[in-house]
Structure 1
Amino acid sequence: MVLMTKKPLPAPGDLCHPDPRKAGPRPLHTIIAPENDEELQQVLTWLTLRPITSLLRTAVDDAVRYVLDGARTWRFDLMSEEVDKDERSSVGTKLQYHVIQSLELVKEPPLDTMIMGIPVEIKGTVRATWMIPREGQCEITLMIQIDARRHRFRALLMRAHRAWLSGNQGNRDLKRSPYADAVRQYALEVAPWTDLPPEPLRSLTHDQLRVVFGSDSLLKRLIALFGYLPEQVIPRESITTVGAGLREPLRRAREAKPYLLDQHGLVVLVGTWRGEFNVAAKLGHDLSNEAWVAIPRAKIVGLGLTPEDFKH
């Protein structure tokens, strides 16, 4: 639930008094406007000089897939009833490590990492707000929000002043949430709402999913998968999810190619091969990270190619 203030929100120029913390008391101090906060602006500049939206998109996707663990569980949707509340919440915890790796930072005290020699807290949430620990009060926080239902995320940067956090005693871990109006007024946008990499399994109907996951034959599963999703890029992770519990799903996917050509008139292109990657790009498909796509034979022929050109 997003927290709303019942009294005027403290503003730049007002005093802020953080809660006691393990590292020792932080003194009473004056709130500085974000545009005048030199450390905040330095961190923002460092982030935005990079392809930050793309880097964070990868980190969020990796964290979600890590928790879903599709290659062992068949799960591909964070909002599925098969994903319990605690697992869903753990995405935020895993996310900080994926962000640190994606941005080529290191895990470093006193918070989660350092940017330009400035301590930065990294908080992720799949809810409407974030939980700020006492050590993060009045410190710079990179706040990432995942909207699992709409399969998207956004990222904000904010100095999480105690005066802008919930006024009660917080949760059992003594964490507090920022007020919604404080986020609106004083958080700086790092990445706007951005769609996560597509998970094609989410687009299948219930009946189609039953077919894709219902056979003991991985080959039949994969033929059904590509047959239902022509011209949709299918990440390697989606293939391994379909093959959860079965051996060598990627090898089986390669073996499915002639059946897909015979039964559905589809030519499967794989991003592993540069030639196929380039052909897919000409047709508007990005096969980065060794993704796959099934293309109608007629479109391949229209490029002056034949299915035999893609046999390995």
Structure 2
Amino acid sequence: MKRTLPDSRIAPGHPDHALLSAIAADITARAGGADTLAAAIGAMLRGCVDDVLMTAKTGRRSYDELEKTEKTYIGTRVEIELRALLGLPKGRLDTVILGHDVDIKHTMGGNWMIPTEAVGHPCILVAADEARAVCHLGLIVARAEYLTEGQNKDAKRNISAAGFADILWLLAQEPYARNFWRTVPADAVARIFGAGSGNARMAALFREVQGRPIGRDVVEAVAQQRDFMRRIRADNGRGTRDHLAREGILLLSGQYDAALIAALGLRACTAAEFISHRPRSEAQAGLAARHGIAPGGAN
């Protein structure tokens, strides 16, 4: 998506102002407010891309590594999940909002392909920029004069450069979470997934990525086992926490070790996150011991 977007012309007096403003208000209300909408759209896009990447099984970390059919599926997935997120019905196009047939278009590039059946109708425009980890959510009435003259073999047309000013933005350049594995050095990723057993992979994960909250989705992907949480817990000396403790590394749970996490000055974790840390001083080791966790030996 463009780094600089033109100012929107959607204001009182614009022919699309009343319609797009009403649809925008309905979408925002359905999401539970502007802040909730921004968070939900970012989380939805992150999940749609990551579920297709399947890094743990395929080793792929980038959208560019996907097959063409997989990239197409992400667009379909966004359409389905956006309807579910906002509680919208299926319609003659993709959905119906306030009695209007509305198309949903998604792109990971710089523009959207508008099909002939959507011309003249409102469209929800969703975009994700994986390189910069920013997303966009906009509305446009796909009038012919807002579209390019050229079309592809399926008679789909892009929004013209001038037509970008006829988009009403609900989100523009909105940051969202980066793919976890793209934030980890490639050699570390190789060591994690090349470690062998579930316990070994889990220990490698928290050995390689310390001082950073890690969510259950990442833990599950690395464990690749049904009872993945067992790999986290101390397990009669065999669990990941036990192995790391013998190396002098603490493995802490946001749910059960929040007080120790705070005392050590580590980044706060949610109840569904974990963080590892190698004590840097005797004082930190003593703090852990007073909380019942002994680095250097079994808990």
TM-score bracket for this pair, using the shorter chain length = 0.7 to 0.9
Q: Is the 8 A contact 1:71 1:240 kept in 2?
A: no
Structure 1 stretch displaced more, 142-151 or 290-299: 290-299
The residue that corresponds to 1:132 in the other structure is 114
Per the TM alignment, residue 147 of structure 1 is displaced from its structure 2 partner at its CA by 0.9
State the TM-score, normalized to the length of structure 2: 0.78
Partners of 1:164 and 1:45 in 2: how far apart?
23
Structure 1 stretches of 5 or more lacking a match?
Answer: 3-10, 13-31
Q: Is the 8 A contact 2:137 2:170 kept in 1?
A: yes
Q: Is the 8 A contact 1:124 1:143 kept in 2?
A: yes
Alignment: residue pair count: 273
**Residues 158 and 286 of structure 1: CA distance in aligned 2, closer, same or farther (over 3 Å):** farther
The residue that corresponds to 2:232 in the other structure is 253
Per the TM alignment, residue 124 of structure 1 is displaced from its structure 2 partner at its CA by 0.8
Partners of 2:71 and 2:207 in 1: how far apart?
31
Partners of 1:233 and 1:223 in 2: how far apart?
15
**Residues 157 and 223 of structure 1: CA distance in aligned 2, closer, same or farther (over 3 Å):** same
State the TM-score, normalized to the length of structure 1: 0.75
Q: Is the 8 A contact 1:200 1:233 kept in 2?
A: no
**Identical-pair percentage:** 23
* Matches for 1:74-153 after TM superposition, within 5 Å: 74-79=59-64, 81=65, 83-106=66-89, 108-153=90-135
Q: Does 1:233 align with 2:213?
A: yes
**Residues 59 and 247 of structure 1: CA distance in aligned 2, closer, same or farther (over 3 Å):** closer
The residue that corresponds to 2:136 in the other structure is 154
The residue that corresponds to 1:224 in the other structure is 204
**Residues 243 and 146 of structure 1: CA distance in aligned 2, closer, same or farther (over 3 Å):** same
Partners of 1:105 and 1:301 in 2: how far apart?
54
Partners of 2:52 and 2:194 in 1: how far apart?
23
**Residues 277 and 302 of structure 1: CA distance in aligned 2, closer, same or farther (over 3 Å):** closer
Higher RCO, Cα 8 Å, sep 6+:
1
The residue that corresponds to 1:27 in the other structure is none
Q: Is the 8 A contact 2:211 2:266 kept in 1?
A: no
Per the TM alignment, residue 305 of structure 1 is displaced from its structure 2 partner at its CA by 5.8
Structure 2 stretches of 5 or more lacking a match?
Answer: 3-8, 234-238
Q: Does 1:65 align with 2:50?
A: yes
Q: Does 1:166 align with 2:152?
A: no
* C-alpha distance after superposition, 1:162-197 (max 9, x if no partner): 1111212x22322111012311x1111111222322
Matched residue SS, 1:128: coil
Q: Does 1:210 align with 2:195?
A: no
User: Which residue, 242, 266, 269 being the options, matches 2:250?
Assistant: 266
